Structure 1
Amino acid sequence: MNSTGAEADAARGAFALDSTSPGAAPHGFDAFRRGWRTQLGDGWPMPTFSPATTGDFRVRSRVAKVRDVGVLDLYGASAIRTAGDRHNHRDHVRMYVVRRGAWTVGGPTDRGQQTVSAGQFLIRRFERPSSFEAPPHTTAKILTLLSGALTPLLGDESITGPADSPEVRLLVAHTNMVHATIADLGPAGVRAAHSALIELAKAVAVGRFDDVEPRLAPALAQAAKDLADTHLADPELSAAMLARELNVSVRTLQRAFAATGDSVSAYIRQRRLEEARLALTAPSDRLSVSELAAHWHFADSSHFIRAFKKQYGQTPTEYARSTGRGPAVPDR
């Protein structure tokens, strides 16, 4: 392997685990520990989990290391608890974004406990070993930053806020892209991913981000796509609505999409057509062509049919018939 490849391999690492399926739990913790040690290395000591946790380790997780930043996505079907990270004494900052359940961190020796509830985030500096625990069915994203890049912004304070803030949306979108692409990143890609992680973590800490920073354009576009996916049936969905929710100008949002070779309106239309295509082959409650056009907010049936044929090479009725099903009312 050349030095460039070795540099990338040393600066990144990733593994995924699902021990929630029947029969996987008894070996779940061993697999997690093996993945952690081989992919993250000695620079990232694994937390010291309680015996109860290691004996019933039913989790679905994905872990990535990008230089000195770690990203963990975790769903715990079982409870998770540690007795303190006895081996981790490096000054570091952690960010917790909790979607479901709760995550409790710290203890009497570390400025007291703090609990992050569902729908909230917490950024906190840790100067000494700390413990954490979460009840069953907790879903969380955890970032660990060993570089101290956030320390000047935090001091001895913790920062909390809503998990649906624009800054958190961008950070989550970027971490998801990291998980999806990390295996293919070369040294330049690792550096870019790391730089964006640091900038977005800072943005969450201060409650704003630099919307003209080109390194953040992919994260902004992805955050807008993620948000659009949850509002496809909303008649108000538009570039203006997405820009408002993400606290940027429409021009900034359109520029971010253009940097990825896409446009806001094209993405919304493509996703609505995908949903309409799936609806055409639904096993029950199939809609007519005109009903589908109205439901997905096309101007009329003719516009919907033309857009569908351009996307899939068949009209809606032709597509439905080719799959052995058909809408209640044919194209016209």
Structure 2
Amino acid sequence: MLIARNAVGKLQASFAGKEDPKKQLGIITEGLKSIESAEKDNKTKNWTETWAIKSYLTSYAAIIETDESSSFKYFDTSEVAIKKAKSLDKYEDPSGLIKASEHNILIKKQERGSLSYFNNNFKEALDDLREASDNFPGDSTLALNTAICAQNVQLYDESLKYFKRAKEDSIKNPAVYQKMAQLYVAKSDNQNAIKILEDGLAFNPYNRYLTNDYINLLLDTENYTRAQSLIENNLNVEKSNKLLFFLYGYLQQIEGNNPTAILAYNKALATDQNYFDALYQLGLAYLNTANDAYKNTDTEKKNQYDSLINRAQFALLRANEINPNDKQTVQLLIEIYTRKNAQDKVQDLKRKLQEL
């Protein structure tokens, strides 16, 4: 035991002197040989100090050993030793060896958890990272990785807890706010989801992904006025954002303002001519405008009906080329060809619809 205590003192002096890790491992090996003898002695095997020293030496060895296999063997030994030390009747830690060992073990658990995390073994990583994060709450990266692990194993409340911890550390990463919002939406807590996205946009103004999620959530919750204002503000900055033009058109279409919707969809298509959603909605907007023209008593506007129907047909045919399996597109084309009395086209499309 005297030799083991001496090894602890030499190791602490070696750390203070920033000596070579190989020399430190030599000191640890010397101390562990003495501890092995103490473990077998009928008297010293029941001393808390015996197991505290063993845990202390092996926990440091786990950190400084460069061979991964040997490092984790030391780690496992340290965990067993610290449990034994705490199980003894006269458990005490006057030298702080157990406390130091616990700190070292946490560092190694964090390392092990991180290895599992980067190998996408989220279930294995979660316990280690969670324990490390609870002991190092100021580490926002650790909290973030713990949250992602919990999310991947579908522990959503747990995931939110650690995302909040990362957020409290003023983390600005937009992905954090995006993931938190998704979790709130999954819990049907749209109010908090909106609040989180607003917080994220305060740190990341005009971030495309946060903005898109925010607008879509506003639309899902029928906050159309707020959504339209946000889209208009963002279009002043991102003048070639096809999604913003599409969403602006969609809002106009909801309000029955089809001509403005058509202009917005065409601007979206000027950026991406194969934008399926814009083509489909454009066809629908032309069809709605054609219906309005047909009902109009004004002869000039009524004469626009055929032109509008043709434009709807053209847009929907392009949409059908891009996504031939979309049933709604086929149904609208059937409606248009029925109006044109093109029965052969109608029958072809009906057969196609039955196959989808």
TM, length-normalised to structure 1: 0.26
Which of the two has higher C-alpha Rg?
Answer: 2
Question: Which of the pair is proportionally richer in strand?
Answer: 1
TM, length-normalised to structure 2: 0.25
Question: Which of the pair is proportionally richer in helix?
Answer: 2
